Structure 1
Amino acid sequence: MTPQEMEKRIVRYGDLKPCRTAFIDAHTPGSDQKENFTIIGGGVSESPDQHVHIADTPGFNIGAAGQPPKCRNSLHSHTTAEVFFVLKGRWRFFWGRWGNAGEVVCEEGDIFNIPTGIFRGFENIGTDYGMIMSILGGDDAGGGVTWAPQVIEDAKDHGLILGENGVLYDSKKGESLPHNVSPMPLLTDEQLKDYAEAPTSAVVRNYIGRYWDMMALAADEPCKVIGEQALLKDKPGFEVELLTRGSISEETYSVDRYEILMVMRGHWKLTWEGGETTLAPGDVCAIPPQLRHSLAPSMTGEASLYRVMNTKDPAGATWQG
């Protein structure tokens, strides 16, 4: 593989192209400044303006959300796993029908395997622009987003209507629902009973990994973060590990699946048969199956990255009640 071919498999943090109209709350005050990034796979954006950096999926999708301080993402749910780690800033995650069933604050490097079957939202509570990276289960990321009813109603008051076809129509641009498309129906009271009001204690205990705890666990071997035998014991269709300079050698290796590298801290030298390159914080690299390569920090100091690989497990529900 030539360096030019490998570069097509790398999405550089500085080259990310945002979409500011990705979801139904794009005009809702408090949510109207957020940016959505689709890095690998089509993601769940409801807007044709969304730029997809790498279309092929390795069994899951990679995306990101960037938000200024006090900007929030509205309450929604997915049918497959949604995992976030904080790249920059300080974030409050909240959940429940009205967003008041529980909440947790995550710092840089922390990872949150958000259970399915729960309405969730998140807010940048830091002092600067923040970024969270996401992993969505399944090649089609579960077919889209299910919004809490009040989110759809609020959006309509600000000119955005979501069609039953999953497409947004913006009256501020002169758009309206096509005659053959109905509005997305609101969930009924009976349907809303299927969404859990998970207690904070259970979520924090079973679904959150703290960065510095994982860094300690990864001192001399990869820290298994999400997986059957991992810190967060779950099988969402992919497994996640945290690597540090002490937990990986410079020997070449290959795997039989796609290997997605998501750099958290430091600069990492990636070497393969055909070239080498350096990965920086926020960069995402999709290494193809069977390619022999090696990975090592290229500078002194803190170095960490998340490594994600698909498994044969279904990408379905994770909430265990």
Structure 2
Amino acid sequence: MTPQDMESRIVRYGDLQPCKTAFIDAHTPGSDQKENFTIIGGGVSESPDQHVHISIEHGFNIGAAGQPPKCRNSLHDHRTAEAFFVLSGRWRFFWGRWGTAGEVVLEEGDIFNIPTGVFRGFENIGTDYGMIMAILGGDDAGGGVMWAPQVIEEAADHGLVLAETGKLYDTKKGEALPDGVKPMPLMTDEELAKRGEPTTAEVLPNHVARYWDMVAMADKTPCKVIGETGLLKDKPGFEVDFITRASATDTKHSHKRPSVLMPVKGHWRVEWDGGSVTLAPGDTISVPENLAHCAVPSMTGEAAMYHIVGTDDPAGLTWQG
């Protein structure tokens, strides 16, 4: 495969196209400055304005959220697994019906594997614009987002209405629900009672992995981060490995499914039969199935990278077991 053939499977950080109207809280004060990015797969955006960089099915979706300081993403849930790693900045994740059940602060390189069945939100608590990268299970990412009732109610106060079809309508622009289409119903008290309220102590051991711990564990071979035998044991429809300079190898290998490489630190040279390319933090490359390739740091200094590949396990953990 030539470098020109691979070009359409590479998304540079500087070429990412943001959407500021992706979700129902796009007009809500405190959330109205966030940017949503869909890098691989259709994602879960509720807006037709969302640009999809790579539409090839991988068995999972890759997206990102960029936010200035003090900007937050409102409480929501997905029907499939959701994992985040911090590319830049300092982020507070919180969860529960009202976002008060527990919280954790993540720094650059840290990863958080969030099961379904619990509302979650996050905010940039750093001093500069920050970016977190997201992995969502499934090609259709479970059919959209489920919002905490208060998020939908507050959004309506600021002109945005979510239809039962999952599409957003902006009344500030004169838009209205089409005839025969109802608003997205709020979750009932019975449905809300079934949702998890885990404490921070319950979440940290099995769902959060710290960058420097993974660096230490990847001293000879890549650290298995998410997977049946991973540091964060789960079967969410994808596996995540963490690779450092110490565990990188120039021996080429291939996968039966498309795989994704996402540098966190340093510059990486990805080589394959027919070409090579150098990636920087924030860049993403989709490697075709059965293509022999390898990835090695191209410069001295700190170097770390996440590697994602799909599996046949679409469910993932929930707080209900």
Q: Give the structure-2-normalised TM-score.
A: 0.98
Q: Deviations over 1:196-218 (max 9, x none)?
A: 10111110111000000000100
User: Does the Cα contact within 8 Å between 1:249 and 1:295 map onto a contact in 2?
Assistant: yes
The percent identity for this pair of structures is: 71
What residue is the counterpart of 2:162 in the other structure?
162
What residue is the counterpart of 2:25 in the other structure?
25
What residue is the counterpart of 1:216 in the other structure?
216
Matched letter for residue 87 of structure 1:
L
Specify the SS of the correspondent of 1:250.
strand
In structure 2, distance between residues paired with 1:194 and 1:284: 37
What residue is the counterpart of 1:281 in the other structure?
281
Q: Deviations over 1:39-64 (max 9, x none)?
A: 00000000000000001121000000
Matched letter for residue 236 of structure 1:
P
CA-CA distance at 1:138 after TM superposition: 0.5
Q: Give the structure-1-normalised TM-score.
A: 0.98
Matches within 5 A, 1:97-246: 97-246=97-246
CA-CA distance at 1:179 after TM superposition: 1.2
What residue is the counterpart of 2:309 in the other structure?
309
What residue is the counterpart of 1:47 in the other structure?
47
Matched letter for residue 54 of structure 2:
I
User: Does the Cα contact within 8 Å between 1:28 and 1:154 map onto a contact in 2?
Assistant: yes
Q: Deviations over 1:133-179 (max 9, x none)?
A: 00000110010000000000000000000000100000111111111
User: Does the Cα contact within 8 Å between 1:79 and 1:316 map onto a contact in 2?
Assistant: no
In structure 2, distance between residues paired with 1:108 and 1:316: 25
CA-CA distance at 1:4 after TM superposition: 1.0
Structure-2 change in CA distance of 1:301 and 1:320 (3 Å): farther
User: What stretches of structure 2 of length at least 5 have no aligned partner?
Assistant: none
User: What stretches of structure 1 of length at least 5 have no aligned partner?
Assistant: none
Matches within 5 A, 1:255-270: 255-270=255-270
User: Does the Cα contact within 8 Å between 2:68 and 2:130 map onto a contact in 1?
Assistant: yes
Matches within 5 A, 1:5-84: 5-84=5-84
Specify the SS of the correspondent of 2:190.
helix
Alignment coverage as a number of residue pairs: 321
In structure 2, distance between residues paired with 1:28 and 1:292: 47
User: Does the Cα contact within 8 Å between 1:234 and 1:318 map onto a contact in 2?
Assistant: no
